[in-house]
Amino acid sequence: MTATFDELIRLGASADVTGWDFSWLDGHATEERPPWGYARQLADRLRTASASLDLQTGGGEVLAQAERYPPVAVATESWPPNVQRATQLLHPRGVVVVGDPDEPPLPFGDEAFDLVTSRHPATIWWGEIARVLQHGGRYFAQHVGPASALELIEFFLGPQPDAWRWRHPDDESAAARAAGLEVVDLRTATLRIEIFDVAAVVYLLRKVIWWVPGFTVEKYRDRLRELHDLIQREGTFVAHSSRHLIEARRP
């Protein structure tokens, strides 16, 4: 039996959006994975590091996939529910989780780490990354690129021409170099997103709050109904995300 619009709205509105694990979307939406395997490459680098820092770790889900950590392993996170979740997940593994507002300065001394990592950081402070890296140390990260999920965002907000430049890998590479880092690897990917019901939309817009700032079901109920009807007619709503893998070295 097919769920009604109201049932799907309630389902998406009641889902737990803490942490940075999107497994709730199984059966509701899919997204292609980048070809480079960030979690696997991260685990490889952690094995050989002596002191690591994972910025904006979310609930620690990606970092927790590694089998081994360096003698000093630290992660930062700003949102209190995620700090709690990451602490529960990572402390037993020997990783210290630090609550941090994601604003400079980072609460660490100069040249404290030989590896700094991040997956999908909301903000990137290149000067701080360079400061806490040891000479020869590396920043290794997967970033969200420009115009990610733009089709979905524009469905609610209308045209967003500036989205094509926000978080552009060329701009980020230039900012890294301006901070004194050498970009040694940069790869990009465009990935297909398929959304199968409006519950997934409500879940996503509650979780990724910068896509449609101020989103509530009540405020956007009419547009949600239109999107529900579109999915009912066409079977899916298709959007695209962009990702880039960036590795930078402090000379």
What per-residue confidence (pLDDT) applies to 198? 98
Tell me which residue range forms the domain holding 12: 5-249
Per the CB < 8 A criterion, the answer to whether 95 and 65 are in contact is: no
What per-residue confidence (pLDDT) applies to 202? 98
Q: Show pLDDT as tens, one digit a residue, over the chain (251 residues).
A: 689 999 999 999 999 999 888 999 999 999 999 999 999 999 999 999 999 999 999 999 999 999 999 999 999 999 999 999 999 999 999 999 999 999 999 999 999 999 999 999 999 999 999 999 999 999 999 999 999 999 999 999 999 998 888 899 999 999 999 999 999 999 999 999 999 999 999 999 999 999 999 999 999 999 999 999 999 999 999 999 999 999 999 99
Residue 64 sits in a domain of what CATH number? 3.40.50.150
What per-residue confidence (pLDDT) applies to 2? 84
What is the C-alpha separation between 47 and 70, in angstroms, rounded?
6
Tally of domains in the chain: 1
What is the C-alpha separation between 85 and 97, in angstroms, rounded?
10
Task: Give the global pTM.
Answer: 0.91
What is the C-alpha separation between 189 and 166, in angstroms, rounded?
16
What per-residue confidence (pLDDT) applies to 163? 85
